Structure 1
Amino acid sequence: MVKGFRDFVSRGNVVDLAVAVVIGAAFTAIVNAIVEGFINPLIAAIFGEPNLAAVGNFTINEGEFSIGLILAAVFNFLCVAAAVYFFIVVPINKMREMRAKEPESEEESVPPEEILLLREIRDSLRDRV
């Protein structure tokens, strides 16, 4: 049971997922700082409200609705998703492409003895015809 758990944890996917969660949390903090320090003051200047959550509020029969709260959550999600994609996913994909393009070593480029023997037999049969 412990061996199975160790194999599960040592797989690349689990490690990638753990790194993604940690980096996602860090990017969330950055995005929240940008929203609080730049976007909310910009919204206050445009709409006269302190933040996006205060925009589009209305009440119907003592029920308070907030379109701005939904917009703020969508905006934060899109900012985090864009930051993760452009600063993590794209560079990792480029790095993987570069690794895939690395030239093969000489050992990998030399075919096995059986293949060489089969090629010699093929060539000798071709020469007979």
Structure 2
Amino acid sequence: MLKGFKDFIFRGNVIELAIAVVIGTAFTALVGAFTNNIVNPVLAAAGGADAGQGLGFPIWENNPATFVNFGNVITALITFLITAAVVYFIFVAPMNKVSEIMKRRLATEEPEEEPIPVDTALLVEIRDLLREATALAPRSAGTHAGLPEQKL
């Protein structure tokens, strides 16, 4: 278990994760600024001129802590959708495309021949030398040292 963690640390994934967190934090700040400064005022205006607190309603009139704010929920939803869309179109879709291209490229490449083991290569060489020697040697009357002739 510790070996797996050590491999994970030294593989470089931690650095990639750290970069992702920094980029994610910066992007969240950007989307937050957009929703707070553009979306929230539009939603507050939809709540009416006298609402003052945005799109929603108070449960008790004289207690502002009981205000049910639909505007903040809608803002959070819009923030989530914008973040998810940007992550998908900037990171996920291009990586899927690269992966698809790599799969196609690997599928079209001819597989490399596996190297012949040394012992098999030596046996093939011996076989070929025996064939040559048999082909060059004069044939006797059907026997070699008392054995019948065999084809290799």
Pairwise TM-score range, normalised by the shorter structure: 0.5 to 0.7
- Once superposed, what is the RMSD of the aligned Cα atoms? 3.7
Question: How far apart in 1 are the matches of 2:27 and 2:84?
Answer: 9
Higher RCO, 1 vs 2 (CA within 8 Å, ≥6 residues apart):
1
Gaps of 5+ in 2: 117-152
Secondary structure in 2 matching 1:109: coil
- How many Å apart are 1:68 and its aligned residue? 2.1
Question: How far apart in 1 are the matches of 2:101 and 2:56?
Answer: 48
Q: Identify if the C-alpha distance between structure 1 residues 89 and 77 changes in structure 2 by more than 3 Å, giving closer, same or farther.
A: same
Report the equivalent of 1:56: 56
Normalising by structure 1, what TM-score? 0.58
Report the equivalent of 1:111: 113
Deviation per CA, 1:82-106: give whole Å up to 9, x if none: 1111111111221222222335797
The number of residues matched between the two structures is 111
Q: Which moved more, 1:97-106 or 1:18-27?
A: 97-106
The residue type equivalent to 1:33 in the other structure is A
- How many Å apart are 1:72 and its aligned residue? 1.8
Report the equivalent of 1:30: 30
The structure 1 residue matched to 2:96, chosen from 87, 93, 98, is 93
Report the equivalent of 1:8: 8
Question: How far apart in 2 are the matches of 1:103 and 1:5?
Answer: 31
Question: How far apart in 2 are the matches of 1:39 and 1:68?
Answer: 9
- Which structure has the highest helix share of the two? 1
Secondary structure in 2 matching 1:112: coil
Return the index of the structure with the highest Cα Rg. 2
The residue type equivalent to 2:8 in the other structure is F
The residue type equivalent to 2:90 in the other structure is F
